[in-house]
Structure 1
């Protein structure tokens, strides 16, 4: 049985690692072969082929439901129903539209839309909307969130921004939205948004600071991943009935175990409906059902069988869930607990079990977090040791009971006020802990070091006294101290990060690092904090020798403060110092300033007669082994003309497109003098400025320049000094990036 279940799970999980999907004909052939092999001893191979074919069929179905390329950028009138919980912030509202239809084209079943300055939408309303449609494509960086995979896993076939809309029908069936609005009106000692996350699984109202605290302390799963809440609530109901039975308070004519399992699952289903029955919730319900069924009837089969059955059921219902990190982490945590606590001699006290559970989960998930590229919370064992019982035994029962009793305001609101106070006290402590021990973002670990580190973790999870167990710590430490790839002497590693409509370029030599611009910031959306800083850490940058801000515009210098707070920075230079924040302590960029790092030469230029911030951009020339790269910021035609009189106006191999390819830059004479063989464009896909301008693109192509565009190719990686072509992250093939 276990062999067959493992084979089926392996086939279903293979989808996650495919660079592209097999053809439909090949999948049919594999399915037929699987059916033919099923009656024989080769049934594990048959189950593997069945799982693989089923997962690929479902993935192809989701890909076929995505917005057609011909509709990308078009504006259509669309009708549909608002589903889920609309998310409102200072800029507008974001929501999902289901059953989207248009008279002019076939649309995906579900769209994710943004309405800047839009009205107060309610779940269940039906709208007619003028939508500028886009194919879902997020930023693509070394440590970035894979937005395309996330959309595909949620069944969202396209995104868009709303230009106008008409309400066709009022809300029907939007009871979760009604509950959320009521919770937000309650005086919960400043924790109303946190209670909404806890009760409804909606974390849209949490501040950026709250998200950071939860991530740094490894407690994110307790407040905003409602699948975790399902398990906590069901476990509380089960423990209550088991406790009553143990002390003789449960009716003797009713067998306590079936009742405990049945009522726990009923409670879980009720909470699942409250939480919206989304993908994490469905996964939690399936896992819980298998655990309760195993506990009631099939304990002799072992916990591993229950775990494998849960994995297979979840993947059969939704194979694309394997694209989400939460799937791997949740099942990995359960597997670690089963491995650690099963088959041990002697009994552990409740205190020993609880304490060890937190440490073994932290150790066991370390290889998974490394492989998924997620931050590692060093304070998670201590934080969860306190936070899990605090939430599950105190806050969650009060929050749910208070929510159900809201029709009795004096009682329901009182319970929620108390729950909010308990949450506030917990967050004060978690905030202090996060400030002392922030999350660690590890650099990319070589595969051999990761494998040996994983082996070390496995040894540490073995019972005490097992042979070779002492070797676990040095092997596990390899992931922390593994040698990273070094930049060769005389060469420079260049990363143009994908920050949307802005610029951030990392330049590394063998012993030094420079960041040219730090990405944009618009309101709370700080790409310096969200993209640049995590990418720098993932690439192994632990300090910056120089932060060079071309000028003071928010799309270039907006993320600078976040970078300066997150990493030690030896020096900050700026082309428009007057416009920069005084907290940066920037010194002015001086034309002619030169320095050399590890055999790589750097030279600055700035137009003294500049009349605005764009013209004041500090230009940087980098030369490694005779190969040149010119970083130009946002200089315009006039500044380009002045630049041509400088000593830096020589042939260059690579050019960072001035002003994101704006029509006001990249003059013909400027391009002819530099004669670059390629241009690097950093811009936001579908940006409001129309960058890059068609005339500029035509100019690049007429001069036979290779074009590398972050909006189409994601982050770009260039090894300056080798005369190779840049490599884009989009070139790393994944089937969902087709």
Structure 2
């Protein structure tokens, strides 16, 4: 079983899937080895083969490249719970059909300004289809992997549509509508998340509080909720049997296990039976089976069996952080509670698991690049029993009895009040101890921290156990290799249709543009701020906003709230938040940081908008980089008369490669060796324009495009080739063009 688990997990680390002939060879070799003593290798090969076959099915179900960017009429059925947003609605289509085109089984679409959409309805939609993709940074969330794990073969935006058939069997949507219609003291969305697993109605502030306090798992249906309900049913049957109220003709233990599992499945169906819920139901079922028949095998047996069961049902589950966190948390509890000479007191049994889980999951959160809540042990200490014993029973009972006048609504009102009180307490805690995003940790130090965490989880008296603390803390304060004097590390972040570049010298950091913000989507908060934290930036010496457009300065407010900034400079001061205290860009301003020179330029005749962009030239040991914002041809002509118009090694393409910029005289004078383009894949503006790309190709300029290569890291002053995020090969990523 351990060999099978390793084979199933190996999929997660493959740079590319083996060809069909290779998978067939592995299967044949495994079958040949099964009768012999080398059966562990056979099970490893079987697990790897099945994982590769399942992953290939998911890859084959992606949108065909020829359809990428096309707008087609698609007919399909709405599944899941549509997510209402401030700008429209997002939902999934299954069994989509389009004339003369094969479509993926699942398509995730967004309809801005669209009408209400309900689960189970059939629609005919005009959809601009896109292959699964997302921003890709060195230490950020991999949206492409998430889409593959969900087996979503395409995304798209709806232009128009008509409803063909009303909803059928949409009872989950009906339950959500009832929950959102009752008076739950303003916490209707929270109850929908708790009962149905639908967190789309939670406000961004609520998500921030949950993340800062490490309590997201309490509002998103997880194994804890399903295990709690199963445990309540099991405990009720046990209590009735103990006091003689259970029918003697019915063996109480099989009935307790069977009813508990039935309750878990029922709650899973109410929650939509997604992959996390399937994982929880499998784990609960195997624990109950172990309790019924296999207690003599020990507690690790059902955990390993559940691990294999989940991965056999869905091998792509290993691409999701929740898979690793849930099994790691259970493993920590098994290790902490098992193999001890005496039981813990009630107080110890209540308090210690929170601290042990925090210690055990710390290295895992580090390697997954997730925020670490410093207040999670304390928050979960009171939040877990409050949700488990008060809010969840009231919410489930109120949902079941919602059709009974006054009774169901009264229970939901009480549940909403209890949930609101919890949120208020968590908000106070989050205000004092927000989530911590640690800097990148080298692999060697991370392995030491893993060993330290394991030592700390062992019982007292184990030799060298106190050494676990310094080993664990080594990942918190790892030695860092500074940027060499006279050089600057430049990272163009992948922020879609926008721009953000981080420039770090030995002791200083500058951020050029802050990423886009559109409605509820703030890439400054989602990408730029976490990336700065991962780079170990604690203070920004300067945030330079080329101009006030939302795709360049939209994320500035979120960054200013998350990091101290010594100085903010902008090509435009109007249109930017007043609290930033933005200073105007002054042409000719120069300064030097750690042997690297910086100089600003702005067209004095520009009135506003793109031509008023603040241009920055950086020079490190003779290697030059020019960051131009969104200047247009008129501003480029004025720039050619400035002393900065000299040969440049690295050029940030003006206005994302728009046809209105990158004029031939400008490009010819600078003659860049390489050009950086920051833009969104399949953007509506047609960036970069083919004529602009032809000009760069005519000069032999190397193009680094964020939409195709993700984030780009340049060591300016070292005269070395850059590093691109997509060069880190993974089987779910398309190869570099």
TM-score bracket relative to the smaller structure: over 0.9
> In the alignment, is residue 549 of structure 1 matched against residue 574 of structure 2?
no
1:512-523 residue pairs with structure 2 within 5 A? 512-523=508-519
Partner secondary structure for residue 140 of structure 2:
coil
**Equivalents in 2 of 1:509, 1:712: separation in Å?**
27
Q: Judging changes above 3 Å, is the alpha-carbon distance between structure 1 residues 717 and 667 closer, same or farther for their aligned structure 2 residues? A: same
Distance 1:253 1:333 in 2: 39
The residue that corresponds to 2:148 in the other structure is: 152
Aligned counterparts of 2:427 and 2:404: Cα–Cα separation in 1: 34
Q: Which stretch of the first structure deviates more once superposed, 687-696 or 312-321?
A: 687-696
Contact 1:660 1:692 in 2 (8 A): yes
Of 535, 539, 543, the match for 2:535: 539
Structure 1 residue matching 2:11: 3-state secondary structure: helix
Give 1:101 shift: 1.3
- 1:491 maps to which of 464, 470, 487: 487
Spell out the pairing of 1:610-629 with structure 2 (5 A cutoff): 610-629=606-625
Corresponding residue of 2:104? 108
CA contact (8 A) 2:221 2:271 kept: no
Q: 1:71 corresponds to which residue?
A: 67
Cα distance per residue 1:502-550 (max 9 Å; x no partner): 1110000011100001011112211111111011101111110111111
SS of 1:578's equivalent? coil
SS in structure 2 of the partner of residue 481 of structure 1: coil
Alpha-carbon distance between aligned partners in 2 of 1:239 and 1:439, rounded to the nearest angstrom = 36
Q: Deviations over 1:376-429 (max 9, x none)?
A: 111111111111111111111110110111111311111000000000000000
Q: Gaps spanning 5+ residues in structure 2: where?
A: none
Of 267, 271, 274 in structure 2, the residue corresponding to residue 271 of structure 1 is: 267
Bigger Cα displacement from structure 2, 338-347 vs 246-255: 246-255
Write the distance in 2 (CA, Å) between the matches of 1:698 and 1:243. 78
Please state how far the C-alpha of 1:253 moved relative to its aligned partner. 4.5
- Change over 3 Å in CA distance of 1:247–1:596 after alignment to 2: farther
Compute the RMSD of aligned alpha carbons: 1.1
**What is the Cα deviation at residue 230 of structure 1?**
1.4
CA contact (8 A) 2:54 2:315 kept: yes
Match of 1:426 in 2: 422
Unaligned regions of 5+ residues in structure 1, if any?
A: none
Aligned to 1:349: 345
Mean Cα deviation higher: 247-256 or 210-219:
247-256
**Counterpart in 1 of 2:581?**
585
Q: Is 1:213–2:209 an aligned residue pair?
A: yes
Tell me which residue corresponds to 2:303: 307
Query: 686-695 or 52-61, which moves further after superposition?
Result: 686-695
Pick aligned residue for 1:125 from 100, 121, 131 = 121
In 1, the alpha carbon distance for the partners of 2:336 and 2:627 equals 54
Q: TM-score, normalised by structure 2?
A: 0.98
Q: How does 1:564-713 map to 2 (within 5 A)?
A: 564-713=560-709
Q: CA deviation at 1:713?
A: 1.1
Aligned residues: 734
Q: Does the 8 A contact of 1:142 with 1:538 survive in 2?
A: no
- What's the secondary structure of 1:629's corresponding residue? strand
1:183 and 2:179 are equivalent in the alignment: yes
Are 1:380 and 2:368 an aligned pair? no
Q: Following the alignment from structure 2 to structure 1, what is the Cα–Cα distance between the partners of residues 224 and 97?
A: 35
Q: Offset at 1:247?
A: 4.9
Number of the residue aligned with 2:463: 467
SS at match of 2:111: strand
Q: Which one of 351, 364, 369 corresponds to residue 360 of structure 2? A: 364
Instruction: Give the alignment of 1:213-252 within 5 angstroms.
Output: 213-252=209-248
Distance 1:464 1:247, change over 3 A: farther
Q: Distance in 2 between matches of 1:569 and 1:72?
A: 41
Residue 471 of structure 1 aligns to a residue whose secondary structure is helix
Q: Is residue 2:709 matched to residue 1:716? A: no
CA distance in 1, matches of 2:589, 2:552: 21
Say whether the 8 Å CA contact 1:576–1:617 is kept in structure 2.
yes
Is 1:287 aligned to residue 283 of structure 2? yes
1:448 aligns with 2:444: yes
Partner of 2:9: 13
Deviations 1:42-84 (A, max 9, x none): 1111100100101001001110010111110011111111000
Cα distance in 1 for partners of 2:236, 2:487 equals 65
Q: Within the alignment, does 1:200 sit opposite 2:202 as a pair?
A: no
1:498 match: secondary structure: coil
Structure 2 residue matching 1:615: 3-state secondary structure:
helix
Counterpart for residue 33 of structure 2? 37
Deviations, residues 164-217 of structure 1 (Å, cap 9, x unaligned): 112111110111011111111111000000000000001111111111111111
- TM-score, normalized by length of structure 1? 0.98
Residues 481-506 of structure 1 show CA distances to partners (whole Å, capped at 9, x for unaligned) of: 11123211111100111111111100
CA distance in 2, matches of 1:82, 1:187: 28
Which residue among 20, 23, 28 is the counterpart of 1:27?
23
Which whole-Å CA distance do the structure 1 matches of 2:268 and 2:541 have between them?
51
Provide the rounded CA distance (Å) in 2 between the counterparts of 1:711 and 1:515: 20
Q: Deviations over 1:210-230 (max 9, x none)?
A: 111111111101102444321
1:736 is paired with a residue whose SS is coil
**Equivalent residue number for residue 726 of structure 1:** 722
Structure 2 distance, partners of 1:673, 1:697, is 16
For residue 577 of structure 1, give the secondary structure of its aligned residue in structure 2. coil
Q: Relative to structure 2, which stretch is displaced further, 571-580 or 309-318?
A: 571-580
C-alpha change, 1:530 and 1:725, in structure 2 (3 Å) is: same
User: In the TM superposition, what is the alpha-carbon distance from 1:465 to its structure 2 partner?
Assistant: 1.2
1:200–1:226 Cα contact (<8 Å) kept: no
How far apart are 1:349 and its partner, in Å?
Answer: 2.1
CA distance in 1, matches of 2:540, 2:511: 7
Q: In structure 1, how many angstroms separate the alpha carbons of the residues matched to 2:725 and 2:546?
A: 25
Query: Equivalent residue of 1:344, what SS?
Result: coil
1:255 is displaced (CA, Å) by 3.3
Provide the C-alpha distance between the structure 2 equivalents of 1:248 and 1:359, rounded to a whole number of angstroms. 39
Q: Distance in 1 between matches of 2:606 and 2:16?
A: 50
Q: Does 1:53 align with 2:46?
A: no
User: How far did 1:660 drift?
Assistant: 0.9
- Equivalent residues in 2 for 1:86-105 (5 A)? 86-105=82-101
CA distance in 1: counterparts of 2:699 and 2:588, whole angstroms: 29
1:296 paired to 2:292: yes
Q: 2:158 matched to 1:174?
A: no
Partner of 1:508: 504
